[in-house]
Every structure is written in C-alpha cells, then in structure tokens.
Amino acid sequence: MSGTPPGRVLVLGGTGEARRLATALVDEGVPVLSSLAGRVADPVLPPGDVRVGGFGGSDGLAAWLSAHPVQVIVDATHPFAVAMTASAATAAAATGVPLLRLQRPGWTAEPADDWRWVDSLTGAAEAVRGFGCVFLTTGRQGLAAFATLTAHCVVRSVDPPDPPLPARTTVVLERGPFSLADELALLREHAVEVLVTKDSGGAMTAAKLTAARELGLPVVVVRRPPLPPGVPVVGTVDEALSWLRGQPG
C-alpha cells in the first residue's frame, strides 16, 4: 500500500469496521495486530495476528506499546467502549504513537420515527417505566440499570447476560445481522411496546429501527459518549486507509 508505514498497525476492537480494516491491510501486505476485548465467547476473528484480552488501562497499554512497538494505532472499538477509547488516547499521547479513531456514523431518525433520546442507560430505564413489554438491545453489559423494571423485558445478546436482570426477562441469544422480517416477527411475538437501543450506528442491527417505525413503536436511544479531544476521527474504513497512507515512515 503506497505510503503506508511499514511497521505494524495495532487495530483495537472486534467491530465490523475493525475486521474490514484488518482485512484490507493484510491484503496489501501491511502487518496487523488486532486486539479484542474478549467479552464475546466466540468472536469473529479478523485476518492477521490477534490478541484477546484487556491491557490493564492506559498505563498497561502504554507499557505494552513500549514492549511491543507499533507504527500506529487505530481505535475501531464500539462507539460505547468508553474505557478503551480513553485508554488508547492517554497511552498514545504518553508514548507518541499516532492514534486514529475509526467510528461509524450514528443513526438518523426519519420523519415517522418516535425517538426519545437519553444520555445513559439509567436514563433509558427511567424513560421506559410504565410500559408493559420492553425490548432491550443495548448488549449484555449494563443491564443492571434495568434490573428494577417490573415490565416484561426481552433482552437480546450474543452471550448469556449476567445478573442482575429484570424480574421478568426473556433472553434471546442471537448474533446479527437481523432482517426486517426477523425483527417484525420478534416484536410481534412478544407484544413489544417500546425498544431501547444505543446509538451504535451501522446496518447490522438497523432493521429493528425500521421494524419499530412500521409498527409505530417508540424507541429510546442512548446518545454516544463524547470522544477524547485531539484525536483525529474518521467514519469509514476507506477514510482510515487514506489517513494511514498519509502517515510518515
């Protein structure tokens, strides 16, 4: 890849964008190490070298970078992976390793949507009190925020969630992408009255939003957390590749 640094690229995250970036770099002969958090029991692995597990915060990542030099870091973790994104920014600044944040754009509401924005999972739990059946698609992390709900809660995640959970919970173990027909069937089967999601963005799980629109259901959307200042941000893999091509070395 003309202009791409010859050193290894550290790609943080198990997102689809992280896998596509790793694939593109490996195809062009760029050495890549993908780092996955290890929170999913059977993750989809990208090509190239892979490490699984945390670094131990920003100090641990900085020490790891000192022991395993890389040319550049691409933080392609989930938009809500706040701790890892903060650690990457701090460790990159401490070690002088260039850092790029690859984060897909969030979703945009359409005129027929009834979206209710909140700033946290706690806010989402407050927003759905009074509904009879709540579809929680926020992942298995943070479900404790909803533990006091008395509604029937449908929880969807890749791996079984850990307690505490709402008293009346149905767990649906599935991995996306999900079709519109699948989402409509699930919402109807459980008589869902409101959907809760994070503003994750991307097409893999967007069908639930279309299904909610078609059924006239409200959607409680958790806003994304702010990004660390001073870190360049791109929204697509192509933009990330262009940024990498512009790096010295």
pLDDT, tens digit, 9 for 90 and up, residues 136-166: 999 888 899 999 999 999 999 888 999 999 9
- Checking if the pLDDT of 1 tops 60, the result is no
Average pLDDT over residues 53-78: 95
Percent of the chain whose pLDDT exceeds 90: 84
Confirm whether 208 is domain-assigned. Answer: yes
Q: Which two tokens stand for residue 149?
A: 């709900």
In a domain, 110, yes or no: no
Strands 133-136 and 152-157, by their bridges, are parallel
Q: How many structural domains is the chain composed of?
A: 2
CATH number at residue 180: 3.40.50.2000
Cα angle value 219/221/225 (rounded, 5°):
175
Output DSSP code: residue 143.
G
Same domain, 144 and 184: yes
Q: Tell me, yes or no, whether 135 and 209 share the same domain.
A: yes
Q: Is residue 40 pLDDT above 80, yes or no?
A: no
Angle formed at CA 66 by CA 65 and CA 70, multiple of 5 degrees:
45
Average pLDDT over residues 50-67: 95
Model pLDDT, residue 177: 87
Q: 93 with 128, same domain?
A: no
Handedness of CA 86, 79, 130, 152 (dihedral sign): negative
In a domain, 150, yes or no: yes
CATH of the domain at 26: 3.40.50.720
pTM for this entry: 0.89
140 in the same domain as 75 = no
- Which structural domain, as residue segments, surrounds residue 232? 9-105+226-245
**Are residues 125 and 209 located together in one domain of the fold?**
yes
Residues 68 and 121 in one domain: no
Report if residue 2 sits inside a domain.
no
Same domain, 129 and 191: yes
Q: How confident is the model at residue 69 (pLDDT cuts 50, 70, 90)?
A: confident
Query: Is residue 4's pLDDT more than 50?
Result: no
HSE value, Cβ hemisphere, 13 Å, CA-based, for 74 = 32
Q: What is the mean pLDDT of residues 58-81?
A: 95
Q: How confident is the model at residue 249 (pLDDT cuts 50, 70, 90)?
A: low
Co-location of 119 and 217 in the same domain: yes
